[in-house]
Structure 1
């Protein structure tokens, strides 16, 4: 179970970056990698994310069972905040 939660955390952390910076090719590739790990390697499906008050709430299906977890917003948005605070360090380079 810990592997699934780690993968969801990693995926969601980069997903919030790509949601804010859709032109960021590196973030898009990383999001695809983590989504593939979740869906193909770990068998997670039907992932839904909501953001309410101080948490991201995630609902997903694993082994036919719907499960829920949550992460504090500040934990998930740490990478996005670093990028926004020092954008010169996270330039987007064309392919």
Structure 2
């Protein structure tokens, strides 16, 4: 089992990709996988995500308590930056 922080990091990274590439079915499938991990293994519900330099803030609820985790924008957007730099390597196959 991944730590909550690692799972949130992975989910947010792929969510950013999904938001930029809504037609990317692989990214969407991966996002759903991490959402299921967050719900089933960590029993959390995502409340919201905010991008405010230099961080992304993820608000979530665990055990009826609201919490916030922050992640540096540059780390979260690495995958999207790679995809944008070499889009031919990241084609969408249905």
TM-score range, shorter chain: over 0.9
How far did residue 46 of structure 1 move?
3.7
After superposing on structure 2, the runs of 4+ consecutive aligned residues of structure 1 that deviate more than 4 Å are none
SS at match of 1:42: coil
Q: What is the rounded CA distance, in whole Å, between the counterparts of 1:6 and 1:92 in structure 2?
A: 26
How far did residue 39 of structure 1 move?
1.0
- Alignment match, 1:32: 32
TM-score (norm 2): 0.94
5+ long unaligned stretches in structure 2: none
Between the two proteins, the alignment pairs up a number of residues equal to 93
- Alignment match, 2:4: 4
Q: CA RMSD in A?
A: 1.1
5+ long unaligned stretches in structure 1: none
- Alignment match, 1:51: 51
Q: What is the rounded CA distance, in whole Å, between the counterparts of 2:78 and 2:21 in structure 1?
A: 15
TM-score (norm 1): 0.93
